[in-house]
Amino acid sequence: MSAVSLTETLLSAPILFFFLGMVAVWIRSDLHLPEQISKFLSIYLLMAIGFHGGVELAESGLTAQVAGVLAVAALAAAAIPLWCYYILRFRLDVQNSAAIAATYGSISAVTFVTGIAVLQSLNMPYSGHMVAAMALMESPAIIVGVLLARYYGRKAANADEREKTSTAELLREAFASGPVVLLMGSVAIGFLTGPSGWTSMKPVLGDPFKGILTLFLLDMGTTAARSLKRLPEASGFLVTFAIVAAVLHAGLGIAIARVMGLAPGDALLLAVLLGSGSYIAVPAAARMALPEANPGIYLPMSLGVTFPFNVVVGIPMYLMLIQFAWGGQ
């Protein structure tokens, strides 16, 4: 792995357009993308990443190491909410602690996409099964977060039947939500069609990818800057948690990758997955399962603090740590 500098990572077009989106909000520009275009960009990116990941998985095969990576990713997504919850309980109530814990156990697909863009710009290879790992990490954290809220929260005398229903609905929502279905379905289709499928789909899902990603990050820059303004006053603890959790969890991902003997590109993606926070899947599930949690807390933390931190500081820092730990491979 060649030396990677902070400048090389930051001076890529997708990252610079993310900065532009944030600046547009700070100077009160009316720059924005229509909502339907934003949804299209999200759908395209999930489909392209999933399909390409499935093709790569078909070429590499389901080896013992691949199965190990998938298992570790799912276990990490379930374990991270546990210690996050107990730390957050020093300052927050049960519902908000559970919602934030689920947020930081789950993942940000956009941060993952940004990591892929950085690897591509630096010509660093990565494995397709990392996309499957991302898909597996969406749901476990949501389930654990809700179980924590159920266990520690006060229950009304007649709440048992309602909680059974809501838990069943939660499981359905977690595994049948649009992003998860699209991502997992695209991985499956890519796996079934293999390299020949990629050859036929590359003009649609491969060649335009970086341009679509750049547009999406421009839009995400405006969204992140607006979300940051929504953090409540006296939010020093929340901002600190949002940054420290990203760094510690990403460091855990790097350590796991080193022990498992993963390649540097895969190590970065595992670090990004563990170090990110969800602002799509968890908020959607929390509205239903944790209605007393305040979205004005957990959403700005993940989208307004952790996401831009990872894009601007985290990913370059994780790359430098990986370069040091892997000894220039």
> What domain count does the chain have?
1
**Sign of the dihedral through C-alpha 190, 113, 291, 38:** negative
In a domain, 254, yes or no: yes
* Contact call for residues 138 and 174 (beta carbons, < 8 A): yes
- The predicted pLDDT at position 280 comes to 67
Query: pTM score, two decimals?
Result: 0.73
| Domain ranges, residue 265 | 6-326
| pLDDT tens digits, 50-64 | 787 778 778 767 778
CATH of the domain at 16: 1.20.1530.20
Distance (Å, rounded) from C-alpha 146 to C-alpha 317? 32
Distance, in Å, from the CA atom of 49 to the CA atom of 209, rounded to the nearest integer, reads: 9
pLDDT surpassing 90 at residue 169: no
Lowest mean pLDDT of 46-60, 146-160, 192-206, name the range: 146-160
One-letter identity of residue 221: G
Q: Residue 95 domain-assigned? A: yes
Q: What whole-number distance in Å separates Cα of residue 309 and Cα of residue 318?
A: 12
Tokens of 233: 């006053």
The values of phi and psi at residue 157, to 5°, are -60, -30
Residue 236 burial class via C-beta count within 10 angstroms: exposed 0-12, middle 13-18, buried 19 and up: exposed
* Residue 288 is assigned to a structural domain of this protein: yes
Domain-embedded: residue 299: yes
Q: Is the pLDDT of residue 1 over 70?
A: no
Q: Is residue 20 part of a domain?
A: yes
pLDDT at position 7: 54
- In a domain, residue 1? The reply is no
Q: Is residue 158 part of a domain?
A: yes
The fraction of the chain above a pLDDT of 70, given in percent, is 82
pLDDT in tens, 32-42: 888 888 788 87
300: closest CA among 99, 153, 143, 93?
Answer: 99
